[in-house]
Amino acid sequence: MKLCFARSGVRRTWTVELRPQPGGPVLVCRQCTHGGWPLVGSAARAELLAHLAAHARQDPLPAHLRICRCHERGCRQHPRHRGCNGPIRLLLVRERGGRRWRLSDACTACAAATTQAAVVPETTLAVEATPSRRARDRRRRCPRGPDSQTRVREMLNYLATALPVETEAGARMLALQCALRMNDSAQVRLPYGVLRSLRLQSAADAWRELNETGLLRTRHSDHRAMAVQMLDVGLLTQYPARPDRLRAADWALRAACSARTSNPLLRLATLSLVVRTAHTSDHGVSEAEQVARECGVPATALPSLLEQLVAAKVLMTWQAALDTEEVSWRLGPKGLHPRPAVEDTN
């Protein structure tokens, strides 16, 4: 076994800043001595994330040596919290209105308490240790990891941070399907059947939007599928067990379909609420800001969105708690969980 991971000085916190300059924003990295890189347009965010991811890959550390950097820094990032708890994850934090981004190890409890942050989906973590082919194959034969609901929740959450705020709901749903369905080479073959199930108002518009964000490039299409190359491979490099992710992608489709509306925003909002409702219950609660970000709407637009979900019978009721800035809901007859697949109980 290689011991090179255990070298001292691996801090597992990487920060980059976007500095406005006359010619456009420049990426300044605290870890690199380089003066800065100019970034272009709406793909700037993808480039920034790819840069952070490259640092994370360069500084791998085995799971048992990783500690919560948030706690180490005095947990200044979040309110209301009772101490570290849960497995260590990679947390992506957006600060100063998107001008500063930090990627670091954090415990599950600190991660959940941090606003403007997304846990990098679990599927990517093992990439850091670059496991041997044999270990990878063995892992593939007995897939273990989060269930579909958790995978979808984490991916939605990650995309809410990775995609520009103005990204439309239809494009967000499409991005989710692509991110969950990509293979080890970051390629996706998205069958037209899946596209039809997404019921996008204009698939061409959604593809164009995602191409512009730098998240992916559409390559070509044949009569059965659209071929896509994912570009934000830094943080999304998928591992392990693609069948698990395909199952999660199908789960997401079915959960969004339960809304029985062709309005992509209502379908995305339904998905965002269903992934936050335990399958043993019809009650859910979440930070209002988080749900709004996943839907790509300002928090002020959330009440009217939730009212529309009540009208569509996806929700029975909802309530906002002003003191905690949380929103709670009860799912209605059309907001039910898709039946969990047998394999989803691991």
Question: Minimum distance between the CB of residue 124 and Zn ion, rounded to whole angstroms?
Answer: 18
Within 10 angstroms of residue 7's Cβ, the number of other Cβ atoms is 9
Rounded Cα distance, 318 and 307, in Å: 8
Give just the sign of the alpha carbon dihedral 315, 316, 322, 327: negative
84 forms part of the interface with Zn ion (CB under 5 A): yes
199 forms part of the interface with Zn ion (CB under 5 A): no
Question: Minimum distance between the CB of residue 106 and Zn ion, rounded to whole angstroms?
Answer: 6
31 forms part of the interface with Zn ion (CB under 5 A): yes
57 forms part of the interface with Zn ion (CB under 5 A): no
Our CB check for Zn ion shows the closer of 32 and 316 to be: 32
Residues 6+ positions from 74 with CB-CB distance below 8 Å:
none
Our CB check for Zn ion shows the closer of 107 and 309 to be: 107
Return the residue of 18, 68, 182, 252 that touches Zn ion, per CB under 5 A: 68
Residue whose C-alpha is closest to residue 5's, from 57, 76, 70: 57
Question: Minimum distance between the CB of residue 144 and Zn ion, rounded to whole angstroms?
Answer: 24
246 forms part of the interface with Zn ion (CB under 5 A): no
The two beta strands, 100-107 and 315-321, are unpaired
Question: Minimum distance between the CB of residue 237 and Zn ion, rounded to whole angstroms?
Answer: 18
CB 331, CB 274: distance < 8 Å: yes
Return the residue of 32, 225, 310, 316 that touches Zn ion, per CB under 5 A: 32
Return the residue of 18, 27, 29, 292 that touches Zn ion, per CB under 5 A: 29
Our CB check for Zn ion shows the closer of 21 and 317 to be: 21
Contacts with Zn ion by CB under 5 A: the residue count is 10
Binding segment toward Zn ion, per CB under 5 A, in 102-110, 137-145, 298-306, 333-341: 102-110
Question: Minimum distance between the CB of residue 287 and Zn ion, rounded to whole angstroms?
Answer: 16
If phi over 0 gives left and psi between -120 and 50 gives alpha, with beta otherwise, what is residue 91? beta
- Strands across the sheet with 117-119, in order? 37-38, 26-29, 13-19, 100-107, 88-95, 117-119
71 forms part of the interface with Zn ion (CB under 5 A): yes
**Ranges within 278-337 binding Zn ion (CB under 5 A):** none
Residue whose C-alpha is closest to residue 120's, from 90, 86, 157: 90
Our CB check for Zn ion shows the closer of 58 and 324 to be: 58
CB 127, CB 105: distance < 8 Å: no
Rounded Cα distance, 161 and 144, in Å: 26
Residue where the block lists tokens 């846990």: 119
Question: Minimum distance between the CB of residue 27 and Zn ion, rounded to whole angstroms?
Answer: 8
Return the residue of 103, 110, 176, 269 that touches Zn ion, per CB under 5 A: 110
Return the residue of 91, 107, 210, 253 that touches Zn ion, per CB under 5 A: 107
**Which amino acid, one-letter code, is at 215?**
L
Question: Minimum distance between the CB of residue 263 and Zn ion, rounded to whole angstroms?
Answer: 38
If phi over 0 gives left and psi between -120 and 50 gives alpha, with beta otherwise, what is residue 98? left
Binding segment toward Zn ion, per CB under 5 A, in 25-33, 143-151, 174-182, 216-224: 25-33
Residues that bind Zn ion (CB under 5 A): 29, 31-32, 68, 70-71, 75, 84, 107, 110
